[in-house]
Amino acid sequence: MRDPDGLIARAGVRGDPNRDQHFLVDDRVLDRLPTYLTDIDADTSHVLEIGGGTGVLTDRLLETIGADDQLTVVERDPPLAEFLQEEFSDAIDAGRLTVIEGDALEVDLPEFTSSVSNLPYGVSSEITFRLLPEQRPLVLMFQQEFAERMVAEPNTSEYGRLSVSTQHYADAELVESIPKEAFSPPPAVQSAVVRLVPREPEYDVENEAFFLRFVKALFTQRRKTIRNGIRNTAHISGLQKPDAVVDAADDEVLQKRAGAMAPAEFAALAELASEVGEPEA
């Protein structure tokens, strides 16, 4: 295994908090990360890593996946992408590793089978919701607070739009909290690893885009009742006839607040809203 500090030294870089660069240097954490995939027998025939940095996780992943498996790393920083190509030239020549220089939100991603990534925190939400619809097992690192919101249950303070949207695509489990000291330089907050295992939701949604928009709208007024939330957020949900939805919905649901609504309840209400509320396309 390559030494994390040695990789940083050879790369000739220092982490820059202003650029969202915090390099993971704790060997024990690095050793555990790939196991969160292998523990569930995930398909590692083509693993995707977002944010390769100096290659500390890349090194562990190459050691973990099979000899015939592939790893693709996306790195937006040109000097770091060049370093990865030099440092891991043997794996590249063997056809086991591909390094893509570019922004993970803009580049064409390969057909991957699973992902392990220490995401840039500033764009972690956008990247996650680019990956989740691909329906592949994901092991991703986030800020602790963000991770707790992803896995939260209804009627908790952390539960919100992020919880519903995440759990629409996958079973979400916070598998490990990571102290600040595991990084160089240490970030301002603690981090956490979330494992996302894809599965079909327990409810049917005809229009997924409207469902997610409807959930977003109602959580903007989480302290209001669902009745008032539907009426007050038509400009967000796109409902042209919010009063028609209120008239058609069950009164017990209308008296709830968003934080008490399970994903399946949101889905049922969204389906009703789609039928009678004439949402904009």
3-state helix, strand, coil in the chain (%, to 5): 45, 20, 35
262 plus 126 within the same structural domain = no
| Residue 235, marked binder | no
194 C-beta neighbours (distance < 10 Å), count: 23
- pLDDT for res 138: 98
Q: Are residues 175 and 64 in the same domain?
A: yes
Given 198, 231, 256, which residue is the final one in a domain? Answer: 198
Report the C-alpha gap between 255 and 275 in whole angstroms: 21
| Digit-coded pLDDT (tens) for 98-114 | 999 999 999 999 999 99
Residues 117 and 194 reside in one and the same domain: yes
Task: State whether 182 and 215 are in the same domain.
Answer: no
The pLDDT of residue 270 is above 90: yes
How long, in residues, is the chain?
Answer: 281
Kindly report the pTM of this predicted structure: 0.94
**Same domain, yes or no: 41 and 10:** yes
Please state the domain count of the chain: 2
E strands present in the chain? 23-24, 46-50, 70-75, 97-101, 114-118, 138-143, 170-178, 183-184, 191-198
Residue 39 lies in a domain: yes
Q: What are the C-alpha distances in Å from 15 to residues 2, 67, 90, 272?
A: 18, 32, 26, 50
Domain that holds residue 181: 4-198
Is 203 a domain residue?
no
Per the annotation, does 75 bind a ligand?
yes
Question: Is residue 148 marked as binding?
Answer: no
222 in the same domain as 147: no
Residues 23/81, Cβ–Cβ less than 8 Å: no
Residue 21 pLDDT exceeds 90: no
Any known ligand binding at 162?
A: no
Query: Is 55 known to sit in a ligand binding site?
Result: no
Residue 25 has pLDDT above 80, yes or no: yes
Q: In CATH, what number is assigned to the domain containing residue 233?
A: 1.10.8
Tell me if 24 is assigned to a ligand binding site.
yes
Question: Pick from 198, 226, 248: which residue ends a domain?
Answer: 198
pLDDT in tens, 132-163: 999 999 999 999 999 999 999 999 999 999 99
